[in-house]
Amino acid sequence: MIKYTNETADLKSEQLTGFFFGWPNPPSAQKHLEILQNSYKYFLALDGAEVVGFINAISDGIHSAYIPLLEVLPEYQGKGIGRKLMELMLKELYGFYMIDLVCDDKIVKFYEKLGLHRFTAMGLRNMDRQNGVKK
Ligand SMILES: CC(C)(COP(=O)(O)OP(=O)(O)OC[C@H]1O[C@@H](n2cnc3c(N)ncnc32)[C@H](O)[C@@H]1OP(=O)(O)O)[C@@H](O)C(=O)NCCC(=O)NCCS
């Protein structure tokens, strides 16, 4: 059974394997842990001790929140885990004026089912820093 939690004081990087699937320059498990620990909020989906999905948000805590990352391990996709993680995060962020994220076109329907609307986004991506390592 999948458990959902944000009580993760003892979370270890070894529990965070297989994520950033297909990324050319992914963060290490240690960087992944640091990303979560430095986030405003995050939730994990756990199968036993193994993290099989996660979501994080960054925020000013008052007005705006941004959801940079949501991922479910490939073998766990299509089982409602991504939806549940989004529902938990949207509940946590309830009351913010602005809750934004950027996604590929093929994921738009997934987010529309959760009540999000399509906007136009602008951004920059520094591929040298995709792994989160400062040079
Ligand atoms: C996108 C992602 C998080 C969805 O998680 P998931 O656990 O597979 O999705 P769920 O099983 O919770 O699906 C919830 C609903 O969305 C639908 N859905 C899921 N992925 C979809 C997609 N790519 N396109 C359209 N609909 C999708 C499901 O059919 C389901 O519909 P239903 O509630 O009507 O049955 C997951 O596929 C993933 O991690 N992908 C790789 C990383 C990624 O793209 N993350 C998003 C970054 S913006």
Q: What is the pLDDT of residues 1-32, one digit of tens each?
A: 999 999 888 999 999 999 999 999 999 999 99
- Kindly list the domain boundaries of the chain, sorted by start residue: 2-129
The string of DSSP letters for 61-76 reads SSSEEEEEEEEE-GGG
Task: Report which ligand 1 atom has the smallest distance to the Cα of 71.
Answer: 39
Please state, rounded to an integer, the average pLDDT across all residues of the chain.
97
Its pTM stands at 0.96
Question: Superfamily assignment of 2-129 in CATH?
Answer: Gcn5-related N-acetyltransferase (GNAT) (3.40.630.30)
Q: Kindly give the distance from the C-alpha atom of residue 8 to the centroid of ligand 1, in angstroms, as a whole number.
A: 24
User: Cβ distance 19 to 117 under 8 Å?
Assistant: no
Pocket of ligand 1 (CB under 6 A): 70-72, 77-83, 101, 103, 106-107, 109-110, 113
pLDDT of residue 9: 86
Q: Which residue's entry shows tokens 């996604």?
A: 103
